[in-house]
């Protein structure tokens, strides 16, 4: 087994809200064995308390400073999750008109929404202007000109920050690195001053901030400080040009524990950021953050049931009912997710690849895991709260899983399992 070293996880890695009680894995006070039995699998299960704990860590790290936490909702956009963060005081970082519609459906304040994304269409700009979002994070000069035209035609003013690409290596997976010159995101830092100069002259545009986002699953503070240094130099240059900013958006990207990582705590990062802002004379700026994974990643698991145990000369396979269409990260990034038996057995474990039924060799959830299993056992795939359900699809005509939110000793189904009728809705045959 060369792809990943053989390991077994004895205790939940990510959140104390998932724990064993009387030999059965629980989410808060709810048995995951009972959920799997009652609702079936695959099944996404989230902890309401874990969401609150993660968000509170950012609030406490902000202290008395002016900070707006905008949840990066592409990580998990279920309405119940959005509603929880709205209740806690969160804003939202969105990247599409559909995500804006979700924010509004959850009853959140659009005035605390920042609209990111490289390909905003006219209708999305119109919807965001009508909703009254806090800011557009503009990622190119052509987008800036289009936004100016749309806002002018509507008789509105678009608040704008330019997303600057600082050419900083976030030291993360190349697919989730977004702050290098070769990435599609943002305006090169060398071109940013000229873009701001243009923005300040365009009708329908009000320059309010600067934005950057260098990547995801970042576990070190230095990449943030490198980016911050470049942004502060740009802000000083803009200040000398008479362009006064109101906020600095440092993006998101803080990592979580999947395996043996040591995540960067929000307070460790923000203490360093606040020191730099004060030292460099920019303590008056509002700080905007866009955390996603670090708020929801370890707040969820995906439950799946072993269908068959296939023992071969080369490998042993635990074939489960969840697949790459339910959790894409392993196939897409070769990502590690912990695997926990919901009701562990005491017999000696065997080395398994945990794989799904989809007709692709990439359909695996975990490789080289030591597990004691029998057919029918339920497994919990850890750290599935971020980029789990939101990336799920219907490949092989497989309905997407249900989603559940646990609250103490109660649970709520927050998305029904899809049916075959859902899969073919909108399709028709030729006459």
Q: Kindly state the helix (H) or strand (E) to which residue 88 belongs, with its residue range.
A: helix 79-88
Angstrom distance (rounded) from CA 296 to CA 51: 6
Q: Identify the helix (H) or strand (E) that includes residue 151.
A: helix 141-154
Is 14 known to sit in a ligand binding site?
no
Alpha carbons within 13 angstroms on the beta-carbon side of residue 406 total 24
Is 293 annotated as contributing to ligand binding? yes
* Alpha-helical regions (H) of 155-291: 192-199, 222-240, 266-279
Catalytic residue among 70, 135, 212, 359: 359
Residue 147: both structure tokens together: 């936004």
Q: Is 387 annotated as a binding residue?
A: yes
DSSP β-ladder status, 43-47 and 30-31: unpaired
CB count in 10 Å sphere of residue 100: 22
Dihedrals φ, ψ of 343, to 5°?
-130, 90
**Cα separation, 404 vs 48, whole angstroms:** 10
Structure tokens at 55: 């968000």
Which string of b and e fits 247-266 if b means at least 16 CB within 10 Å? bbbbbbbbbbbbeeeebbeb
Which two tokens mark 351? Answer: 């080395």
Q: How many residues does the chain have?
A: 431
For residue 381, the cross-strand partners are 302, 339
Asked whether the beta carbons of 114 and 91 are under 8 A apart, the reply is yes
Retrieve residue 232's tokens.
Answer: 């502060």
d(CA 168, CA 219): 14
Q: Is 253 annotated in some ligand binding site?
A: yes
Any binding-site annotation on 102? no
Question: Residue for token digits 């189904």?
Answer: 413
Beta bridge partners of 215: 177
Taking a C-beta distance cutoff of 8 angstroms, is the pair 323, 351 a contact? Answer: no
Q: Is 71 annotated as ligand-binding? A: no
Tell me if 139 is assigned to a ligand binding site: no
The dihedral built from the CA positions of residue 32, 37, 38 and 39, taken in this order, carries a sign that is positive
Residue 429 known to be catalytic: no
Distance CA 95, CA 120 (A): 8
Asked if residues 236 and 277 have their Cβ atoms less than 8 Å apart, the reply is no
**Which residues make up each annotated binding site for pyridoxal 5'-phosphate?**
253, 290-293, 387
**Which residues make up each annotated binding site?**
253, 290-293, 329, 333, 360, 387
Cite the active site residues.
359
């Amino acid at each position: 087994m060369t792809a990943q070293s053989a390991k077994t996880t004895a205790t939940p890695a990510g959140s104390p809200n998932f724990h064993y009680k009387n030999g059965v894995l629980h989410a808060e006070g709810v048995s995951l064995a009972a959920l799997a039995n009652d609702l079936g699998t695959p099944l996404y299960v989230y902890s309401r308390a874990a969401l609150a704990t993660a968000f509170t860590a950012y609030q406490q790290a902000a202290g008395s400073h002016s900070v707006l936490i905008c949840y990066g909702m592409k990580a998990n956009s279920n309405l119940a999750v959005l509603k929880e963060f709205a209740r806690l005081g969160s804003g939202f970082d969105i990247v599409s008109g559909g995500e804006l519609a979700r924010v509004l459906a959850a009853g959140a304040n659009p005035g605390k929404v920042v609209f990111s994304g490289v390909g905003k269409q006219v209708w999305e700009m119109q919807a965001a202007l009508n909703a009254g979002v806090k800011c557009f994070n503009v990622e190119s000069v052509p987008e800036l000109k289009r936004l100016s035209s749309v806002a002018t035609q509507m008789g509105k003013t678009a608040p704008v920050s330019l997303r600057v690409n600082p050419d900083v290596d976030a030291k993360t997976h190349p697919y989730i690195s977004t702050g290098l010159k070769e990435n599609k995101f943002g305006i090169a830092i060398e071109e940013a001053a000229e873009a701001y100069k243009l923005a300040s002259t365009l009708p329908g545009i009000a320059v309010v901030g600067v934005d950057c986002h260098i990547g995801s699953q970042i576990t070190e503070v230095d990449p943030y400080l490198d980016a911050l240094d470049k942004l502060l130099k740009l802000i000083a240059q803009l200040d000398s040009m008479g362009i006064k900013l109101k906020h600095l958006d440092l993006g998101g990207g803080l990592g979580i524990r999947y395996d043996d990582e040591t995540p960067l705590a929000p307070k460790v990062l923000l203490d360093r950021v606040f020191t730099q802002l004060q030292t460099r004379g920019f303590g008056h700026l509002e700080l905007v953050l866009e955390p996603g994974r670090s708020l929801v990643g370890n707040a969820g698991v995906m439950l799946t049931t072993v269908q068959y145990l296939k023992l071969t000369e080369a490998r042993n396979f635990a074939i489960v009912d969840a697949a790459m269409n339910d959790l894409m990260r392993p196939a897409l990034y070769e990502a590690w997710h912990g695997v926990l038996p919901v009701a562990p057995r005491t017999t000696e474990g065997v080395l398994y690849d945990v794989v799904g039924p989809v007709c692709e060799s990439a359909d695996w959830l975990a490789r080289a895991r030591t597990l004691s299993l029998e057919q029918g056992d339920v497994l919990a795939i850890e750290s599935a709260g971020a980029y789990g359900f939101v990336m799920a699809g219907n490949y092989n005509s497989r309905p997407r899983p249900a989603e559940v939110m646990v609250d103490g000793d109660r649970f709520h189904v927050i998305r029904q399992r899809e049916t075959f009728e859902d899969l073919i809705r909108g399709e028709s045959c030729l006459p």
